Amino acid sequence: MAAQVLDVVFYDGVVSKPWAAQISPIDDQSVLIRYGDALQKQRRYDYAAMTLVGALGKIQPVIEL
């Protein structure tokens, strides 16, 4: 799988602040989110656990992880 990295806004559920983040595929079942001041924090999410919420007004599509 060719690794494509996308810049996203990520809410970690710990603090109510948006993080600049990057999302990229790990394999055909999961993605890696890198976030934090220097992208030092990481979380892995399975595609099966994700829900596409869709676009909200002028905001890009939202994925609930």
Write out the residue range of the structural domain in which residue 45 sits.
Answer: 6-64
Residue 1 lies in a domain: no
Residue 13 lies in a domain: yes
Residue 38 lies in a domain: yes
Residue 50 lies in a domain: yes
Residue 5: CB atoms within 10 Å = 11
Q: How many CA atoms lie within 13 A of 62 on its CB side?
A: 10
pLDDT digits (tens, 9 = 90+) for 16-61: 899 999 999 999 999 999 999 999 999 999 999 888 777 767 777 6
Q: Count up the domains in the chain and report the number.
A: 1
pLDDT at 65 over 80: no
